Amino acid sequence: MSAINADPKLILFSDTTLRDGEQAPGVHFTADSKVEIAKGLAELGVDIIEVGFPVSSEQNFDTCRRIAREVGHHMTHREHIGQPVMICALCRTMESDILRTYEAIKDAPRFQIRLFIATSNIHLEHKLRISRTECLRRVREGIRLARTLSPNVAFGAEDGGRTDPDFLTEVFGVAIEEGATLSLIGDTVGGCIPAEFHQLVKYCVERTPGSKKTIWGVHTHNDLGLGVANTLAGIEAGATLVDATMLGMGERAGNAALEEVAMCLSTHAAHYHATHQLNTPHFTRVCRMVAARSGMILAANKPIIGQNVFRHTSGIHQDGMLKNRSTYEYLNPNDVGATSDALILSAQSGRTALLSRLGLLGYTGIPNDQFQLLFAKFKNLAQTKLEVDDADLVKLMSD
């Protein structure tokens, strides 16, 4: 069977909102909020939840353990997947980190220990101050130890986007040889462009020794506004796991937004020849939960779940919408769990939109001359406020 006729590849989603997302300046989740969000993510259908960095504090350790115990068995809305979410926690390649991380998440029925180390020259020289040889030794010994504790071990190359490709394949080769079941290529500083990142991922997938023994994933940041684009480029290059956050929440300019990547795959499934297991109608609920619990202000024009995504003010657009929603809406609000408030009556609205809203309020069969006077009053009112609501229309009709 040719590749073009093969079954679509399944794209897995690993969510790191509770770890990388919480590193966004000004964001802090309480323990109760983290448990609530983790349940929401499990119900959304994500494959892995990275719940924290247990060695960072006793509170983080306790919360990771609580999520492993309370959410690890959660099966609501996961019947189509057939298994609970995998609980994951991050650690360095140090023995003490690995053992502590294991203790935090071992009570989950499915858990993954995720190790990372920086691999770029700038990080090796200026941050870690170690040689490439020492880096390889730490990876080998860390993965080897983690595999004695769990069959699910991930390895992430921090600053992989700025790492020499040949050294990157050598590092991943060592991790895979020692049993890493997931290999993550990280654009940690968000400096890659899609063509560049595609080339890097493709190089790793094709040149790394033992490449077919691991799942390849991508973790991107948004410093140049290209987090989602780079993630999609990585998928085209052979990655089958997306590591992202809800709302793109994360350090500096944030991470790739999980909901945006997923809906790109859903709406362009034929192009990517890919599918996923997410319950996309849960996006609006879970995203707004994350925003509320984090204190983060959700932009009205945020793609996929922003308040304005399914609202229209232009008269021409409103006229098209009333005839066929697809004229000016690419997404179906039902697909992301949004309620439709399509027509906003404003100074830009036309006669068709006004008649439609009046009809919904029960005002039908209005004579043309009366409607023309009403429309003029409506336009005058609309010049004085951002939005004309139903109460305003009732008053206009009673005047």
- Asked if residue 226 lies in contact with residue 194, where contact means CB atoms within 8 angstroms, the answer is yes
Confidence at residue 12, expressed as pLDDT on a 0 to 100 scale: 98
* Fold of the 9-294 domain: TIM Barrel (3.20.20)
Query: 297-308 pLDDT, tens per residue?
Result: 889 899 998 878
User: Residue 49 and residue 71: Cα distance in Å, rounded?
Assistant: 10
- pLDDT surpassing 80 at residue 318: no
Confidence at residue 1, expressed as pLDDT on a 0 to 100 scale: 36
Tokens of 111: 């858990």
Q: Give the residue range(s) of CATH 1.10.238 domains in the chain.
A: 315-398
- Asked if residue 19 lies in contact with residue 51, where contact means CB atoms within 8 angstroms, the answer is yes
- pLDDT surpassing 60 at residue 4: no
User: Residue 192 and residue 163: Cα distance in Å, rounded?
Assistant: 11
- pLDDT surpassing 90 at residue 385: no
At residue 322 the predicted structure's pLDDT band, cuts being 50, 70 and 90, is: low
As beta bridge partners, residue 91 has: 115
Residue of 201, 202, 150, 147 whose CA lies nearest to 174 = 147
Q: Give the residue range(s) of CATH 3.20.20.70 domains in the chain.
A: 9-294
Phi, psi angle pair for 340, to nearest 5°: -90, 120
User: Residue 27 and residue 104: Cα distance in Å, rounded?
Assistant: 23
Confidence at residue 190, expressed as pLDDT on a 0 to 100 scale: 98
* Fold of the 315-398 domain: Recoverin; domain 1 (1.10.238)
Name, in order, each residue with C-beta under 8 angstroms of 261's C-beta and a sequence gap of 6 or more: 13, 228, 231, 232, 242, 244
Tokens of 298: 């959700």
C-alpha atoms less than 13 angstroms from C-alpha of 201 in its C-beta half-sphere:
31
Q: What is the pTM of this model?
A: 0.86
